[in-house]
Structure 1
Amino acid sequence: MNRGNRILVLGIGNILWADEGFGVRAVERLAEGWSFPPNVTLMDGGTQGLYLLPHLESADTLILIDAIDYGLPPGTRREFRDGDVPAFLGAKKMSLHQTGFQEVLGSATLLGRCPERMILVGVQPECLEDYGGGLTDTVAAQLEPVLDRVREILRDEFGAGGEPRPARAATSTASAAVSRQAYETGRPSAEEACRIGDPRVLAAAGAL
């Protein structure tokens, strides 16, 4: 294994918008189930935009996991490499002011600090408009196949395939409150949310 090759496995997306959170949930699941050599970093990039730039600058290889709108049937998996990666990033922007990951890569390139290798493993989303919703069944079914592919890339191309993590040693990139299980099972019904609001949000805002 080449320990000098610093590998960043980065999940990007927004868990508030259903399948847009696929990349975040994939890295969360990867961290829970597997441990990797010291040169492999797993990171929930969320929607941090340019705040991710220092992490890209310190990586030699970037493996991205994201929901990608290819215009293909929901759940379709695709893989892109190096110069083809920026054109396919970001299924949804939350506002005109949000920095897309294309801009992050562009900034790293202008600074001459873009990772030498880039690999994007993406899944076609089914739903991006369900605010507060979790992954659809179609897209959730692609979590394990995508993680199998990411581990295969790490093992076969970089000699860093990792080892299954014992259940007692499980870890996560997400806090307990927004882990996939807690987030998706804790969602109020549409009727309750319409009448009284989502208590998860109201409590955080001090409204309860």
Structure 2
Amino acid sequence: MHPIRPNPSENACHPCRDSAETLCVLGIGNVLWADEGFGVRCIEALQQRWEFAPQVQLIDGGTQGLYLVQHVQQADRLLIFDAIDYGLAPGELKLIENEDVPRFMGAKKMSLHQTGFQEVLMLALLTEQYPKEVLLIGCQPEEIEDYGGSLRPVVKQALEDALALGLAALRRWGAQPRPRSRPLSEVETVTFAELALGRYESQRPSEDLACRSGDERFMPAREGL
């Protein structure tokens, strides 16, 4: 692919060159609870496979809640990946845009991180520092009550479609995605190397050695015990 060379006769203030917008790509969720980690895994895959223009930020938002507000406020355009309970078939994707995003994320919460991120969006609105455009790419989870689990196959397959949709939006926004020319070192990754998808899945303990539903010391007492 050949680079597009600017025409010297064009206006020097052409938006594609001198007024690059800040683009924030945010994955939220918890990789320790199976499909809850969908958003973070999307960010991980994007960073591993693609490079972007300097104004693009890839952020592993995890479950940070209000700590993410500065990223939202500084973004001209915001792309969000998350696992969302739409009441659809597992692995089905749904796109929500602009003013519908904060309302939708608060309609049917799946976990505490969604409550926190809805507050982030509302705070950005109240401070009048809200992105010009917001796109939420959400995936219907199959399983989230599996501590230490990974993405279920149907959700892992949907991740590829979600990335394609996200890249299409980023191209429209001027992010200039291009296949990565070199692999990342462990210190460059947005997620901890110990939690990288392949390593996380390959090192999971057996059913006999690890609790799958949480720490039993803090679980509600079972009837009859």
Settle same-fold status: TM greater than 0.5: yes
Q: Is 1:85 the counterpart of 2:81 in the alignment? A: no
1:191 is matched with 208
**What is the deviation of 1:111?**
1.2
Which residues of structure 2 form unaligned runs of 5+? Answer: 1-15, 216-225
Q: Is 1:163 the counterpart of 2:181 in the alignment? A: no
1:175 is matched with 192
CA distance in 1: counterparts of 2:189 and 2:160, whole angstroms: 16
1:113 is matched with 129
CA distance in 2: counterparts of 1:30 and 1:159, whole angstroms: 16
Counterpart residue identity of residue 173, structure 2: F
Q: Report the TM-score when normalising by structure 1.
A: 0.86
| 3-state SS in 2 of match to 1:73 | coil
**What is the deviation of 1:57?**
1.1
8 Å CA contact 1:11, 1:24 repeated in 2 = yes
1:204 is matched with none
Report the CA distance shift for 1:24/1:168 in structure 2 as closer, same or farther (over 3 A): closer
CA distance in 1: counterparts of 2:24 and 2:173, whole angstroms: 12
Q: Is 1:70 the counterpart of 2:86 in the alignment? A: yes
8 Å CA contact 1:79, 1:120 repeated in 2 = yes
**What is the deviation of 1:99?**
4.7
2:152 is matched with 136
CA distance in 1: counterparts of 2:50 and 2:136, whole angstroms: 20
2:27 is matched with 11
**What is the deviation of 1:10?**
0.3
CA distance in 2: counterparts of 1:99 and 1:80, whole angstroms: 17
| 3-state SS in 1 of match to 2:183 | helix
| Per-residue Cα deviation, 1:139-170 (whole angstroms, up to 9, x for no partner) | 00011111111111111x21223110024356
8 Å CA contact 2:90, 2:141 repeated in 1 = yes
CA distance in 2: counterparts of 1:82 and 1:94, whole angstroms: 22
1:202 is matched with none
**Greater Cα shift, 98-107 or 76-85:** 98-107
* Larger Rg over CA atoms: 2
**What is the deviation of 1:94?**
4.3
8 Å CA contact 1:53, 1:108 repeated in 2 = yes
Quick one: percent identity of the two aligned structures? 48
| Per-residue Cα deviation, 1:94-140 (whole angstroms, up to 9, x for no partner) | 49xx8521111011111111212101111111011111110000100
Report the CA distance shift for 1:14/1:168 in structure 2 as closer, same or farther (over 3 A): closer
Which residues of structure 1 form unaligned runs of 5+? Answer: 199-208
Q: Is 1:100 the counterpart of 2:116 in the alignment? A: yes
Counterpart residue identity of residue 66, structure 1: D
C-alpha RMSD of matched pairs (Å): 2.1
| 3-state SS in 1 of match to 2:208 | helix
| Per-residue Cα deviation, 1:32-56 (whole angstroms, up to 9, x for no partner) | 0000001111110000000001111
| 3-state SS in 2 of match to 1:20 | helix
CA distance in 2: counterparts of 1:169 and 1:27, whole angstroms: 14
